Amino acid sequence: MQDLKVLSPEEIKGLDEPRISPSQQQTDYSKKIYLESYGCQMNFADSEVVTSILMDQGYSTTSNIQEADTILLNTCAIRENAEQKIRHRLQSFKPLKAKNPHLTVGILGCMAERLKTKLLEEEKIVDLVAGPDAYRDLPRLLEEIEDGNKAVNVFLSREETYGNIEPVRLHTNGVTALVSIMRGCNNMCSFCVVPYTRGRERSRDLHSILKECSNLFDSGYREVTLLGQNVDSYHWQNPDTKETINFAQLLEKVAQLTPELRVRFSTSHPKDITDEVLHTMAAYDNICKNIHLPAQSGNNRILELMNRTYTREWYLERIKAIKRILGESCGISHDLIAGFCSETEEEHQDTLILLEEVKYDFGYMFSYSERPGTPAEKKLADDVPEEIKKRRLQEIIDLQRIHSAYRNQLMLGSIQRVLVEGDSKKSAAHHFGRTDNNKVVVFPKKEEMKGKFVDVKITHCTSGTLLGELIN
């Protein structure tokens, strides 16, 4: 099975390959860690926490796997092929381990949490298994391995948010950064493994979020993306005053830090996104007008089987509210799953009609992958044949590509405020950046403008990228 996504060239570059942590200037402590990250933005943010914890203990990082004493893979379990990729990667470490029997191989993240000690049995090369809430324990786990043992910690916490840990920025462009605002998920979408791999939902201390964002701004960053599986259910209570803060209030406080810091967030859940959040977005120029609102399906029977707890009508009403409060130009993207249990051809058509109705800017599209232990695996038959899933997925992708091109064409001739993220991947004579509504723009470079806000007139486009020229 193949999962396909429609991505801009920049995003393809970013997502296709695992990200490898770069070398950092270090203490000359001899133990070197090589870390690869897979999966969602939250995993990438976690890798920055992991690096911080290990560097605090005197470990250094390397981007050269050959010189590593420890290889860590921060893994994803969302679909079967995500796990297959890791198992193949582990095979490729065999020659390294043969050369250096002291080499430690560790699995972190969601696959570690899902498989627990089974991973040690199934993949003999693995020495360490640490789940997403066990990263503070990594130094101890690594010591345990030095004594010749295997080490496992897959304890899920109800409190851990790593709130007081200053992440070490990896793969950074120095302009945009990820900031985790909550962990876990309390929803029970029947297809999804996340509640089991990341545990109960908990929100991070408001003050630690604000401090991290303002430190980022002081170090030259100009955009933060606030991350959670369901940001709309952010809920933090001040232990002293008992005052509670919801997501709209958090968003406002981050936006108020400085108008020069752009704020994005992901992911919103259609059942929880409120008008209050939309009005807060409208009130601040520096809150980017872009919403990722996963639909998963356009059919009510399937949505119910998925336990998404909203209907197609509810979802479309939320889309209307977005357009009403934030305007037609607000970027809207989706996640969709093709071929969920018992999905008929007609029900699949409902998803295509939903796409037609909304005309999204962008989407992440997947074919259903049954995950062990989830409600869908226990109660529903994964009965849509692979070829049909694949064909339905392709139909969704093809239609999305048309809509992405259409939405980009609407921007031709407009002048867009762009935050410059760096050189275009294809040419050092071009800069690339993003518009407020999250579209990648490439334009000829006049001078070094990384980290600056510039006005760009949009002159050409493809379904993935806008091309333009600087306006003085």
Strand pairing class (202-203; 60-61): unpaired
Phi, psi of 366 (to 5 degrees): -135, 155
x/- map, 214-253, ligand SF4, by CB under 6 A: ---------------xx-----------------------
- Minimum CB separation from ligand SF4 for residue 306, in Å? 8
396, interface contact from ligand SAH, ligand F3S, ligand SF4, none, CB < 5-8 Å by kind: none
One of 195, 199, 228, 422 touching ligand SF4 (CB under 6 A): 195
Q: Does 79 bind ligand SAH (CB under 6 A)?
A: yes
Segment interacting with ligand SAH, rule: CB under 6 A, options 14-22, 143-151, 365-373, 445-453 = 365-373
Of 415, 417, 419, 422, which is closest to residue 448 (Cα–Cα)? Answer: 422
- Distance, in Å, from the CA atom of 141 to the CA atom of 128, rounded to the nearest integer, reads 7
- Minimum CB separation from ligand F3S for residue 208, in Å? 21
93, interface contact from ligand SAH, ligand F3S, ligand SF4, none, CB < 5-8 Å by kind: none
Q: Return the number of the residue (109 or 298) whose C-beta is nearest ligand F3S.
A: 109
Label residue 303 exposed, middle or buried (CB < 10 Å: 0-12, 13-18, 19+).
Answer: buried
216 within 8 A of 222, measured Cβ to Cβ: no
Q: Return the number of the residue (7 or 40) whose C-beta is nearest ligand F3S.
A: 40
| Count of H-run helices and E-run strands, the chain | 16, 22
Q: Does 40 bind ligand F3S (CB under 6 A)?
A: yes
Kindly report the CA angle at 132 between 126 and 135, in degrees rounded to 5? 80
**Encoded tokens for 180:** 């985790």
231 within 8 A of 265, measured Cβ to Cβ: yes
Q: Return the number of the residue (10 or 83) whose C-beta is nearest ligand SAH.
A: 83
Q: Return the number of the residue (70 or 161) whose C-beta is nearest ligand SF4.
A: 161
Hey, how many other C-beta atoms are within 10 angstroms of the C-beta on 258? 13
431, interface contact from ligand SAH, ligand SF4, ligand F3S, none, CB < 5-8 Å by kind: none
Return the percent helix, strand and coil in the chain, to nearest 5.
Answer: 35, 25, 40
Q: Does 162 bind ligand SAH (CB under 6 A)?
A: no
Q: Does 269 bind ligand SAH (CB under 6 A)?
A: yes
Q: Return the number of the residue (308 or 450) whose C-beta is nearest ligand SF4.
A: 308
State the residue for tokens 């994964």.
382
Segment interacting with ligand SF4, rule: CB under 6 A, options 17-25, 162-170, 174-182, 183-191 = 183-191
One of 162, 247, 368, 443 touching ligand SAH (CB under 6 A): 368
Segment interacting with ligand SF4, rule: CB under 6 A, options 60-68, 191-199, 202-210, 395-403 = 191-199
Helix axes 206-218, 247-257, angle to 10 degrees: 30
- Distance, in Å, from the CA atom of 290 to the CA atom of 268, rounded to the nearest integer, reads 11
- Distance, in Å, from the CA atom of 462 to the CA atom of 168, rounded to the nearest integer, reads 35
Q: What is the dihedral of CA 423, 426, 427, 431, to 10 degrees?
A: -30
One of 77, 115, 138, 189 touching ligand SF4 (CB under 6 A): 189
Q: What's the chain's Rg over C-alpha atoms?
A: 22
Q: Does 185 bind ligand SF4 (CB under 6 A)?
A: yes
Binding site for ligand SF4 (CB under 6 A): 185, 187, 189, 192, 194-195, 229-230, 269
Binding site for ligand F3S (CB under 6 A): 39-40, 42-43, 76-78, 109-110, 193-194, 197-198
